[in-house]
Structure 1
Amino acid sequence: MTKFSDLNLNPKVLKAIEEAGYTQPTPIQEGAIPPALEGRDVLGIAQTGTGKTASFTLPMLSLLARGRARARMPRSLVLCPTRELAAQVAENFDTYSKHLKLTKALLIGGVSFKEQDKLIDKGVDVLIATPGRLIDHFERGKLILSDVKVMVVDEADRMLDMGFIPDIERIFGFTNPLTRQTLFFSATMAPEIERITNTFLSNPAKVEVARQATASETIEQGVVMFKGSRRDREASEKRQVLRMMIDAEGDKCSNAIVFCNRKIDVDAVAKSLKKHGYDAAPIHGDLDQSQRTRTLDGFRAGDLRILVASDVAARGLDVPAVSHVFNFDVPSHPEDYVHRIGRTGRAGRDGKAMMICVPKDEKNMAAIEALIQKDIPRLPNPLGESAEPGPEDEAAEAAPPKPRRSRSRRKPIGDKAEAGTVDAAVPETALAEEQPAQEERKAEPRRDQQNAPRQDQRREPETADQQQEGKSSRSCSRGGRGRSGGGNGGGEKVVGMGDHMPSFIALSFEDRRAG
């Protein structure tokens, strides 16, 4: 059986490994370290939690043990997708380089540029960074990357995802391809992503110790198929299902990570759990870096039981003893499912991963099962087949719904007994007989607004002046619609502006032109 001492590592690195309590390399370490020490490019694919970080950390330290960095010119570069993963890689370097006189700098967002500039100006052997902050320093003229001897892309599938490809290509352009050794490591590597890596790797040694996108056999998986009783209650009932799933695990759930797809849901679930007495805290990209660090440190130390997270915590974070992972949402990308549940069952330990799937997420769940090539066992719904309305855990959900505004027209004013529909009081034959001519019907009040009895004869203005007056009264007012005595009902004279009507309005068109 292979030991670390058989891998030709630097003796001081071997001493640090022994002090850390490791004696035998994992399969990915055994396969990746020898070609990396030879200076070859490496493409490493392995399940999450199998020690990929040490697969590039150990050979890098051995290669950098000889030589010295110059100001603003780091000798090696490690790119990570998230701040938390970058900080974790930095911790690994501290562990394994304790007997070497090597310097490092961590370039991540949320930290002052000034402190980072001081480290770069002194010269660093190892530069660990997220792409955005690295480009910021380069554009400010604080970095020269042409002297990078070893370049590592950790979690390569995420780094080469749609949003990161331009940044990665740009960063590779800062380095010298003739003197650069490139190492790619990831848990998943889709064929289209692998084609992109061929642009950056030259005749790589491909080390694949497990089928792509597989989950550890030590992780027990399950999914609850859930449908809310009502659309406006689904979110509240889904949070209730999560709480019941946590309670059902009892003492076996010593700590857990709850994953949500959206940052707003991370905050909502964490708030709901805390309101119901659970020890929970959120972590996502919109939080301040110091808060994210405190939350993660508290979870690692066992001071925090439940970590509610976005995918910022799904990639590469090593918390050895996570007993459970709950997917509150089905991940949109099936590869993310493998990374999420990989937070439990690490280093040969047993773990349990459970998921809640609502009808709209069934397509994404089918993609996950196709990727891992197995069916996820269905778990019983804690709320039963038809979810009963659970206790509302948000004040907004407990508020009564607002009354809907009616769009019906104003009811006519008059006796309530006469306010019914005309069709019920007047036979259809009578209505047909009284149908007016087209030009007369324009001035006719609506049938459902008539209160006075119909007349067989309608009074028409007899003179041009009276006709003009009648038109003016109908255009300048509502014509008394729905009022007794208004319009042309009752044979009364149509009243427009009354005695106050200006005399010129009553003039005919010919009289106004003559005037």
Structure 2
Amino acid sequence: MTEFSDLGLSPTTLQAVADTGYTTATPIQAQAIPVALAGQDVLGIAQTGTGKTAAFTLPMVDRLASGRAKARMPRALVIAPTRELADQVAASFEKYAKGTKLSWALLIGGVSFGDQEKKLDRGVDVLIATPGRLLDHFERGKLLMTGVQMMVVDEADRMLDMGFIPDIERIFKLTPPKKQTLFFSATMPPEITRLTKQFLRDPVRIEVARPATTNANITQRLVKVPSSDPKAKRLALRALIEKAGIETGIVFCNRKTEVDIVAKSLKVHGFDAAPIHGDLDQTQRMKTLADFRSGALKILVASDVAARGLDIPAVSHVFNYDVPHHADDYVHRIGRTGRAGRTGEAYMLVTPSDDKGFDKVIKLIGSTPEEEKLDLDYSNAVTVKREGDRDRKRGGRDRGDREERGGRGRRGRSEDAAETPAEVAADAPEALEERPARERRPRRDREPREPRTVAPAPIEAEPRAARPERPERPVRGVQPVRDRDDDDRRVVGFGADIPAFLARPTPGVAKANTDN
């Protein structure tokens, strides 16, 4: 075990670390901090929950302790894929830099530009941001990145999943080429490896564990649900939560609509649960996370927005309500428990329709989790048929059904998530009062009504004044069609019906005819 005092950190930084209660560095911290302090580029790969945030925050505080920031020109830049992760990095920086005069700013979406611009105008040493909001400030002319000395990309593989790689490439081109760059991630796909070769200069590769491996402190189990019906899955989830006796837990779903439905179902059955996903207001998301961190909230129902990088040490259980679309997400999800040397438990609900995704997870982690038996009667767990089921059986596709990509995916109503609040409430019949059937009232005989009489319109006392005729004008060069008194002639081609405008005499033509 390596002590923080052996890593070359300054006394001020060591005191800040001691105030947080940590004395021993994790493997990724022990290997990355000395390299980062020396000014070399770092490519760090480690399991989630092993302290990667402190591995780049502590050397950043030491290296920036001497110097002063300029207006709109940050000296260090930290890029995070999600707002929650960026906010967590900001909290860590504030904690470790409290003994210095370093300033920082958090640039994320969902909050006003005004407050962020005020901080940029005063000048900040460290800028912690998501790619989209960072580029928004740059395009507004409120930010210059030519003074960046140190740049960190956290959860680099998540940047790839969320489609941020073009933004990352643009940000790299806007920063000086001689800066120090640190890449940290739990997995390292080939696309990220190509990116590191393009922008990192002779990086030191630090790999403390095989990529995409799970933490040994986490006990993994699976629960087989015989039906793919969402009502059966919710029944199994509730039974599992009650059996596990959790302190705090996170339930992961693949879709945002499913997050809302599962959270509402748990609330109906008396569980202390709240949803969090990319469609919610940022203020609500931050409040929900704060309640979960403090213990005021027991169960967090989340999409993959909470699967990456969130450091909540007290999480005792993780439940995969849905088998993740990507096997790597399973590693990140269960990594929310068993953090900082603690033990944790992870469960995954598997239905007959999850065979393909489940096989990918097993292939990735290299083992099959132990099966957890639940003595449940699924016979009554049948969801009411909904409109659109017939189209889905024919092979129709839900156009809006896309997995969540950092809030950019659209809100689709999938087959499992197309339930109404009434169907969710049907999970708890004891919470609803049975209403008696509405009796049909006998039809009473109606008396015939008297016919309505309409009064005739009043006759005008005097006829309206005749419309004065327009003065006749001779028309030159026009052949006469008919004389003024030739009203009985019929126009050939219209049959027996003559339009009124043709039957009306034309004063100008008639005058020209009389002149001849």
* TM-score normalised by length of structure 2: 0.74
Q: Which residue of 2 aligns with 1:185?
A: 184
| CA contact 2:239–2:374 (8 Å) conserved in 1 | no
| CA contact 1:241–1:382 (8 Å) conserved in 2 | no
Q: Which residue of 2 aligns with 1:196?
A: 195
Matched, 1:360 2:347: no
Q: CA deviation at 1:236?
A: 1.2
Percent identity (aligned): 62
Q: Which residue of 2 aligns with 1:264?
A: 257
Q: CA deviation at 1:162?
A: 5.9
Could you give the per-residue CA deviations for residues 179-231 of structure 1, whole angstroms, max 9, x where no partner exists? 21100001111234322221121110011111111111111111122232xx7
Q: Which residue of 2 aligns with 1:503?
A: none
Quick one: which of 328, 332, 345 aligns to 2:338?
A: 345
| CA contact 1:223–1:376 (8 Å) conserved in 2 | yes
Distance 1:367 1:391, change over 3 A: closer
Which amino acid in the other structure matches residue 57 of structure 1?
T
Which amino acid in the other structure matches residue 240 of structure 1?
L
Matches within 5 A, 1:106-185: 106-161=106-161, 163-177=163-177, 179-185=178-184
Could you give the per-residue CA deviations for residues 51-71 of structure 1, whole angstroms, max 9, x where no partner exists? 100000000010001111100
Matched, 1:245 2:240: yes
Distance 1:396 1:375, change over 3 A: closer
Q: CA deviation at 1:379?
A: 2.4
Q: CA RMSD in A?
A: 1.6
Q: CA deviation at 1:256?
A: 0.6
Q: Which residue of 1 aligns with 2:310?
A: 317
Counterpart secondary structure, 1:89: helix
Q: CA deviation at 1:25?
A: 1.1
Which amino acid in the other structure matches residue 242 of structure 1?
L
Matches within 5 A, 1:397-476: none
Matches within 5 A, 1:189-338: 189-228=188-227, 234-250=229-245, 253-338=246-331
Q: Which residue of 2 aligns with 1:4?
A: 4
Counterpart secondary structure, 2:43: strand
2:153 and 2:191 map into 1 onto residues whose CA distance is 17
Could you give the per-residue CA deviations for residues 258-286 of structure 1, whole angstroms, max 9, x where no partner exists? 00000000000000000111000000011
1:115 and 1:382 map into 2 onto residues whose CA distance is 55
Counterpart secondary structure, 1:325: strand
Q: Which one has a larger percent helix, Structure 1 or Structure 2?
A: 1
Q: Which residue of 1 aligns with 2:20?
A: 20
Quick one: which of 384, 391, 395 aligns to 2:422?
A: 395
Could you give the per-residue CA deviations for residues 346-365 of structure 1, whole angstroms, max 9, x where no partner exists? 11111100011122221111
Q: CA deviation at 1:32?
A: 0.3
Matched, 1:32 2:32: yes
1:310 and 1:19 map into 2 onto residues whose CA distance is 33
Question: Which sections of structure 1, spanning at least 5 residues, go unmatched?
Answer: 400-515
Which amino acid in the other structure matches residue 103 of structure 1?
S
Counterpart secondary structure, 1:63: helix
Matches within 5 A, 1:71-86: 71-86=71-86
| CA contact 1:160–1:168 (8 Å) conserved in 2 | no
Counterpart secondary structure, 2:359: helix
Could you give the per-residue CA deviations for residues 361-394 of structure 1, whole angstroms, max 9, x where no partner exists? 211111111111111222224436xx31238795
| CA contact 1:244–1:382 (8 Å) conserved in 2 | no
Which amino acid in the other structure matches residue 9 of structure 2?
L
| CA contact 2:261–2:421 (8 Å) conserved in 1 | no
1:140 and 1:160 map into 2 onto residues whose CA distance is 26
Counterpart secondary structure, 2:216: coil
Could you give the per-residue CA deviations for residues 69-110 of structure 1, whole angstroms, max 9, x where no partner exists? 100000000000111110110011111101100000000001
1:182 and 1:382 map into 2 onto residues whose CA distance is 53
Quick one: which of 358, 363, 371 aligns to 1:370?
A: 363
2:214 and 2:264 map into 1 onto residues whose CA distance is 30
| CA contact 1:259–1:326 (8 Å) conserved in 2 | yes
Counterpart secondary structure, 1:50: coil
Counterpart secondary structure, 1:221: strand
| CA contact 2:225–2:232 (8 Å) conserved in 1 | no
Number of residues paired by the alignment? 390
**Quick check: 334-343 or 362-371, which moved more?**
362-371
1:52 and 1:235 map into 2 onto residues whose CA distance is 37
Could you give the per-residue CA deviations for residues 381-428 of structure 1, whole angstroms, max 9, x where no partner exists? 4436xx3123879524769xxxxxxxxxxxxxxxxxxxxxxxxxxxxx
1:163 and 1:2 map into 2 onto residues whose CA distance is 37
Which amino acid in the other structure matches residue 195 of structure 1?
R
Matched, 1:92 2:92: yes
2:44 and 2:351 map into 1 onto residues whose CA distance is 35
Counterpart secondary structure, 2:24: coil
Distance 1:267 1:61, change over 3 A: same
Matched, 1:61 2:61: yes
1:335 and 1:191 map into 2 onto residues whose CA distance is 14
| CA contact 1:273–1:280 (8 Å) conserved in 2 | yes
